Amino acid sequence: MEKKNIYILAIESSCDDTSAAVLCNKKKLSNVVATQKIHEEYGGVVPELASRAHQQNIVPVVHQALSKANIDKKQLSAIAFTRGPGLMGSLLVGASFSKSLALGLDIPLIEVNHMQAHILAHFIEEEGVKTPPFPFLAMTISGGHTQIVLVRNYFDMEILGETLDDAVGEAFDKSAKLLGLPYPGGPLLDKYAQLGNPKAFPFPTPKVAGLDFSFSGLKTSILYFVQKNVKQNPEFLTEHLNDICASIQYTIIKILMEKLKKAVQQTGIKEIAIGGGVSANSGIRTALKESEKTLGWSTYIPKFEYCTDNAAMIGIVGYLKYKEGAFTDQRVTTKARYSI
């Protein structure tokens, strides 16, 4: 008998990106992301403005995802959406839209945990991209989260460690802000870091027990470092920008890699996958590639478009849940906090 194709329309609206994607089984047909530029003026995401922008973006983004995929909404098998964690007002836009559309089309609704999706993005089928075998360790590094997760199976995950204060993406963005770079500063800091000397300015690394992280101390030491040097030389930041960025990035990557090494030691698992916006960082990508040679790890880094927030990662979870018949009903509520 011919196998029936499953078409999932996925919606992601947990923070400041409105995204819709269509998947056919494990393959992505389209993945449209509308990034909200409005927050740049404020140096960070303004929740109320984010929900309003989602309201404006969601219909055109969904239309575009369907037309790029060349799929009519009548062909859809189910609708998957981000239930949490995230900003409540933002989540509500995606959830309400998904509920109404599923009801209108009379197809199942599937709720997805955003952090699980960052991990399961590795299972979107892409030519030439290998998927991690179970069990593996996943490090999710984004603007809102920093976690090391033991992944035994698609839906059997255990958090081994997480940040006690700022997320690593926040550490990048806040450091960049102290250097006068616009929001979000992470990608810019990365760009300048590639031109500088990582050993130019040593910054302390925090002493945190176990597999947990802390980044707030680093932020404070960068603040004092900037204040002290700018007082002596008002041109200090412009004259040394590349070296400062390289030194900050070197310190952050050192913190991440030390915890990963500890997690490998504790679990004996050398299959390492990363996910979340900070996986786009050149420093972590290089460090992981080197670990394959020096530590014998196998590393898995998602394609660029699946690193930052996107609906294709919600779609792959939707597909996996569809296969299990894990549907949700119309009474489902969004969750600002939602553990994996």
Residues near ligand KG4, by CB under 6 A: 15, 142-144, 169, 172-173, 184, 186-187, 190, 276-278, 280-281, 308-309
Which residue's C-beta sits nearest to ligand KG4? Answer: 277
Distance CA 330, CA 67 (A): 27
Strand partners, 265: none
CB of 246 to Zn ion, least distance (A): 26
Q: How far is the CB of 26 from ligand KG4 (least distance, A)?
A: 21
298-337 positions binding Zn ion, by CB under 5 A: 309
66-69, Cβ contacts within 8 angstroms, sequence gap of 24 or more: 66/9, 66/20, 66/22, 66/30, 68/22, 68/29, 68/30, 68/32, 69/22, 69/24, 69/29, 69/30
- 3-class state of residue 27 by DSSP: strand
d(CA 274, CA 31) in angstroms, rounded, equals: 20
Q: Which stretch binds Zn ion (CB under 5 A): 4-12, 20-28, 135-143, 152-160?
A: 135-143
Cα Rg, the chain, nearest whole Å = 21
Minimum Å distance from CB 40 to ligand KG4?
12
Q: Which of Zn ion, ligand KG4, none is residue 173 near (CB under 5 to 8 Å by kind)?
A: ligand KG4
Shortest gap between Cβ of 279 and ligand KG4 (angstroms)? 8
Q: How many Å apart are CA 313 and CA 292, to the nearest integer?
A: 26
Contact pick of 31, 90, 142, 175 for Zn ion (by CB under 5 A): 142
Closer of 212 and 309 to Zn ion (Cβ)? 309
Is the CB of 24 or the CB of 139 nearer to ligand KG4? 139
- Cβ distance to Zn ion smaller for residue 222 or 274: 274
Choose among 42, 37, 43: nearest CA to 56.
37
Q: Are 43 and 25 in contact (CB under 8 A)?
A: no
Give residue for tokens 């089309």: 105
173 makes contact with Zn ion (CB under 5 A) = no
Q: Which of 291, 285, 323 shows the shortest CA–CA distance to 123?
A: 323
Q: Least distance to ligand KG4 from the beta carbon of 184, Å?
A: 4
Q: Which is nearer to ligand KG4, 5 or 339 (CB)?
A: 339
Contacting range for Zn ion; rule: CB under 5 A; set: 2-10, 139-147, 159-167, 311-319:
139-147
172 binds, among ligand KG4, Zn ion, none (CB under 5 to 8 A by kind): ligand KG4
Closest to ligand KG4 by CB, 108 vs 144, is 144
Beta carbon of residue 29, minimum distance to ligand KG4 (angstroms, whole number):
22
Between 108 and 302, CB nearer to ligand KG4: 302
- Is cis: bond before 135, omega within 30 of 0? yes
Q: What stretches of the chain show up as alpha helix (H) in DSSP?
A: 47-69, 88-105, 114-120, 168-178, 186-193, 216-232, 236-267, 282-294, 304-307, 312-324
Of 110 and 280, the one with the shorter C-beta distance to ligand KG4 is: 280
Chain contacts with Zn ion (rule: CB under 5 A): 142, 309
